[in-house]
A and B are shown apart, each in its own frame.
Chain A
Amino acid sequence: MNTEIFGIVAMFIITLLLGLPLGRYIAKVYAGEKTGLDLVFQPMERLFYKISGIDPTVQMTWKQHLVALLTINLVWFLLSMAVLMNMGHLPLNPDGNPSMSADLAFNTSISFLVNCNLQHYSGETGVSYFGQIWLMFLQFVTAGIGMAAAVVIFKAFRDKTTTQLGNFYEFFLKSCTRILLPICLLIAAIFVFQGMPMTMEGKDTMINMQGDTVQVSRGPVAAFVPIKHLGTNGGGFFGANSAHPLENPNYLTNMVEMVAQFLIPMAMIFAFGFFIRKRKFAWMMFAVMTIGFLILTIPNIRMEVAGNPALAHMGIDTSLGAMEGKEVRIGAAASGFWSIVTTMISTGSVNSMHDSYMPLSGMNELIAMMVNAFYGGVGAGILNFFIFIILAVFISGLMVGRTPEFMGKKVEAREMKIAMIVALAHPFLILVGTALATAFPAQGASTLNNPGFHGFSEILYEYTSSAANNGSGFEGLGDNTLWWNISTGVVLLLGRFIPIIGPVAIAGLLAEKKFIPEGEGTLKTDTSTFGMMVFAVIVIIAALSFFPALALGPIAEYFSMQ
């Protein structure tokens, strides 16, 4: 059991040790400073700009950034619908998998477009290799979009007063070429030597030792899985995601996949500190996020390692933990750890089935997505955390009776309105969606895999995962229906673009304002006091919004099992 705990500690420490230098590198990339890799990337990017007719030196305002961002997303959406609805008769389809129906293609396109990767299909039977590679492309570029949006905020606080927030295409392209692609290549090189398939051949037939004939699904898995994690996308190549022994063959790949998904969310925090030259502020953010992370993750590991009390009552040996839906090579501890990392940073890949987790472990996974601001998916976590900072600044300002200021800028009514809309949109989407699906049993209850309180949790989880752009699920839910495809598709869209547009707008508006130098009465935002303030705001908003829903699902299930 000790080696299982060591494994978890090692994954966290390795991520932290790699995250610091990577953060410095990311800050340099976006600041346009020299890095060792310029020789390779500069000529390549210059060629790309030339072909695309883009001048990367053109500065954009926050509004222009958003228009460029939304336009390119629209292009990808249309392309994606075309690919997914026609891949059945396109090349690279050795297994003869069918094209998607319109509503499933709508849901899948949006969910990959918004970096969520909620999957209402199974990879083995639902997409061709052509479709898989298209989805892999979306995993790269949507991660690039999230990072580009975060950099706009970085930029807004680096310069004292400005409307010039850099070039969207430059941020986006550099994210893909200089950060995501090289790291993915390194990871893929590890994976292929650990038995992860990388082939364009279709299903293989195997006659088992006892004579049964089965098929084994394969594919270009080793190219897909690195960006699935590095870009915090989470969409699995196979139905079972990273629980599948070909998508996560051993404990080493499990560690690499964990570090890969955790790395950029952590590095972006340090990158922010390096970029705006306020490292202490970044450490404040890191501390708040890490405390929140530990509060959720430690109980989860303990509960999963302790096992299912209902099985223990039957008198068997449950010392391995709650093994339903878990893999022996990964173990209960590393599964519990993964379940919180993946929900907190909005990856949504799973190495064990969340539906079978203990009730309160499931609750912690839900809370991680409901808060959706600790570390956070590539880029997006910082955007959400930023909203909580603005709220904390405002509340602290009211408490001391001064105009709230953040980074030398006055926070006024307009910014506060936007912050409130973003902060309230998240619970609104989750609770209204859940309420609707619960109100119409033909749409909601009839698709459940479990009765009672746990069934309600399945509905709540699906909308929470959609709104948080997470993509994991209580997968027992029969979610490939018109209702689920359309309703979660809408939630996904709003859940992605409101938290991008809002924070970018606030940052843009603040950047235009006059810079007020720090004085005696300025609220210091890089202190532990302010960190506690931010933490309190997060807890209050999450608790007030979601406690009633959690009480009906996981909490009720917990007490029913006592």
Chain B
Amino acid sequence: MKTHIYPAIKITVVLLVLLAVIYPAVVWAIAQLAPNHGKGAVISYHNQKYYKNIAQSFTDETYFWSRPSAVAYNAAGSGGSNKGPSNPEYLAAVKARIDTFLKDNPEVSKAQVPVDLVTASGSGLDPDISVAAAKVQVARIAKARAMDANSLQSLVDAHVQKPLWGMFGPEKINVLELNIALDQMTEK
């Protein structure tokens, strides 16, 4: 043990320099070439800066809503509900969400309510919704904004993000980008 303690300490110091100083410094340097210099992807709109990948709370009936969040959409923290699939309290909460959604969207039938709109995401910050979850909100928004539902429908279609390289993963829609486009459409 004694013969090993000094080499152990010294090699630790050397590796600290390599792995905890040089390595992150190199990654930081590469990040300076990336969009927004490695400070996270942002979208600017009306002189406001939004994080593209962080979900926002949308409760107004004129906006597309995000998925439920277990952390109230505050990215100072993150996490899911961690409710088990058979937890009665959880099932009651989902049922309440479905009822609320149906009340706010009277044009929608129960069988059309997509599961992602009534279940909390893993991070509480999921920036996306499924295509079905956007479509099911079109009627409400069209009514609230007194817009043509068809043009709203094509706005949704234009914002569908295809799977990676057309091959891998699910389709999705970024709620923030869609809502900004929605506001821009009304402004015109």
> A203 contacts B76, CB within 8 Å?
yes
Instruction: Name the distance in Å between A449's Cβ and chain B's nearest Cβ.
Output: 5
A223: chain B residues within 8 A (beta carbon):
23-24, 27-28
Across the interface, which residues of A come within 8 angstroms of B49, CB to CB? Answer: 206
The verdict on A209 contacting B179 (CB below 8 Å), with A79-B12, A199-B31 known, is yes
A217 within 8 A of B: yes
Question: A320 with B23: in contact, given A122-B77, A209-B63 (CB under 8 Å)?
Answer: no
Q: Are A450 and B87 in contact (CB under 8 A)?
A: yes
Alpha-carbon gap, A92 to B129, bound state (A): 36
Q: Is A484 an interface residue (CB 8 A)?
A: no
Binding site for A on B (CB under 8 A): 1, 4-12, 14-16, 18-20, 23-24, 26-28, 30-31, 33-35, 37-41, 45, 48-60, 63, 67, 73-91, 94-95, 98, 110-116, 118-130, 132, 163-164, 166-172, 176, 179-180, 183
Q: Which of A222-263 contact B (CB under 8 A)?
A: 222-223, 238-240, 243-246, 249-252, 254-255
For A192, the chain B residues whose CB sits under 8 A away are 27, 30-31, 33-34, 38
Residue among A133, A181, A320, A323 with the most chain B CB within 10 A?
A323
Q: Is the pair A328, B116 in contact by a Cβ cutoff of 8 Å?
A: yes
Given contacts A122-B78, A207-B48, A324-B120, contact A53 B7 (CB under 8 A): yes
Q: Which residues of A have CB within 8 Å of B163?
A: 3-4, 7, 251
Closest to A321 in B: B115
Give the residues from 313 to 365 in chain A that come closer than 8 angstroms, CB to CB, to chain B: 314-331, 334, 350-353, 355-359
Residue in chain B with minimal CB distance to A72: B8
Flag if A176 contacts B19 (CB, 8 Å): yes
Q: Which 8 A-B pairs have the closest CB atoms?
A: A476-B82, A243-B122, A454-B84, A251-B169, A7-B168, A195-B41, A240-B78, A198-B38
15 extra interchain contacts, Cβ-Cβ under 8 A, other than A240-B78, A317-B115?
Answer: A51-B10, A72-B11, A189-B30, A192-B34, A206-B51, A209-B63, A209-B176, A217-B78, A220-B24, A243-B121, A243-B123, A245-B55, A356-B81, A450-B90, A454-B86
Assess whether B27 is in contact with A185, with CB atoms less than 8 Å apart.
yes
Binding site for B on A (CB under 8 A): 3-4, 6-7, 10, 48, 51-54, 67-68, 70-72, 75-76, 79, 122, 124-125, 133-134, 136-137, 140-141, 169, 173, 176-177, 181, 184-185, 188-189, 192-193, 195, 197-201, 203-204, 206-210, 212, 214-218, 220, 222-223, 238-240, 243-246, 249-252, 254-255, 307-308, 310-311, 314-331, 334, 350-353, 355-359, 449-455, 457, 474-476, 557, 560-561
Q: Closest residue to B120 on the A side, CB-wise? A: A324
A316 to B76 CA separation, bound complex (whole angstroms): 32
For B166, the chain A residues whose CB sits under 8 A away are 3
B35 to chain A, nearest CB (A): 7
Q: Is the CB of A238 within 8 A of B83?
A: no
Chain A residues lying within 8 Å of B114, measured Cβ to Cβ, are: 316-317, 319-320
Contact across chains for A214 and B79 when beta carbons are under 8 A apart: no
Given known A245-B127, A351-B122, A450-B83, contact A210–B168 (CB-CB < 8 A):
no
**With A351-B122, A452-B86 given, is the CB distance from A317 to B111 under 8 Å?**
yes
**Does B85 contact A209, Cβ atoms closer than 8 Å?**
no
The reply to whether A323 and B115 contact each other, CB–CB distance below 8 Å, is yes
Question: Hey, which chain B residues are within 8 Å of A239, CB to CB?
Answer: 77-79
A149 to chain B, nearest CB (A): 15
Chain B residues closer than 8 Å to A75, beta-carbon distance: 5, 8-9, 12
Most buried by A among B84, B111, B130, B171: B84
The minimal Cβ–Cβ distance linking A7 to chain B, given in whole angstroms, is 4
What are the residues of chain A within 8 A of B83 when measuring CB–CB? 324, 355-356, 449-450, 476
Determine the distance from Cα of A467 to Cα of B31 in the docked complex, in whole angstroms: 37
Of A79, A314, A315, A316, most buried by chain B (CB within 10 Å of CB) is A316
Q: Tell me the smallest distance from the CB of A45 to a CB of chain B, in Å.
A: 10
Q: How far, in angstroms, from A252 to B53 measured CA to CA in the complex?
A: 14
Known: A223-B23, A255-B164. A320 touches B115 (CB 8 A): yes
Residue in A3, A329, A454 whose beta carbon sits within 8 Å of that of B87 in the complex? A454
In whole angstroms, how far apart are the Cα atoms of A330 and B116 in the complex?
12
State in angstroms the CA–CA spacing of A10 and B41 once bound together: 27
Q: Looking at A6, A210, A326, A358, which has the most chain B CB atoms within 10 Å of its CB?
A: A326
* A-B pair number, CB within 8 angstroms: 375
Out of B5, B27, B126, name the residue touching A71 (CB < 8 Å). Answer: B5
Complex formed: what's the CA distance from A323 to B67 in Å?
10
In the bound complex, residues from chain A placing their C-beta under 8 Å from that of B16 are 137
> Which residues of B are found within 8 Å of A307, using beta-carbon distances?
115
B170 in contact with A329 (CB, 8 Å): yes
A48 touches B40 (CB 8 A): no
Bound: A53/B5 CA distance, A: 11
Q: Which residues of A contact B86 (CB under 8 A)?
A: 310, 359, 452-454, 557, 560-561
Nearest-neighbour CB distance to chain B for A146, whole angstroms, equals: 15
Considering residues B16, B63, B79, B89, which has the most beta carbons from chain A within 10 angstroms of its beta carbon?
B79
A316 touches B111 (CB 8 A): yes
Once the chains bind, are B111 and A245 in contact (CB under 8 Å)? no
Residues of B within 8 A of A217 (CB): 75-78
Q: Given A308-B85, A317-B115, A449-B83, A52–B10 Cβ distance below 8 Å?
A: yes
Q: Give CA–CA (A389, B37) in the complex, Å.
A: 50
- Residues of A near B80 (CB, < 8 A) are 240, 243, 324-325, 352-353, 355-356, 475
Other-chain residue from B89, B120, B123 in contact with A244 (beta carbon distance below 8 A): B123
* A62→B155 CA distance, assembly (Å): 67
Chain A residues whose CB sits within 8 angstroms of the CB of B172 once the complex forms: 328-329
Which of A124, A325, A476, A557 gathers the greatest number of chain B CB atoms within 10 Å? A325
Q: Are B56's CB and A209's CB within 8 A? A: yes
Contact of B85 among A140, A214, A310, A320 (CB under 8 A): A310
Complex CA–CA separation, A216 to B77 (angstroms): 8
Pick from B38, B115, B125, B164: contact of A222, CB under 8 Å: B38
Name the residue in B52, B86, B113, B180 with the highest tally of chain A Cβ atoms < 10 Å from its Cβ: B86
Are A328 and B39 also in contact (CB < 8 A) when A136-B20, A209-B56, A217-B75 are?
no
Residues of B within 8 A of A244 (CB): 78, 123, 125
Cβ–Cβ < 8 Å partners of A210 in chain B = 56-60, 63
In the complex, 19 of the A-B residue pairs with CB atoms within 8 angstroms, ordered by the A residue number, are A3-B169, A6-B168, A52-B7, A68-B4, A134-B20, A137-B15, A137-B16, A173-B15, A176-B15, A185-B27, A210-B57, A216-B76, A239-B79, A249-B41, A314-B98, A314-B110, A320-B114, A450-B84, A557-B86
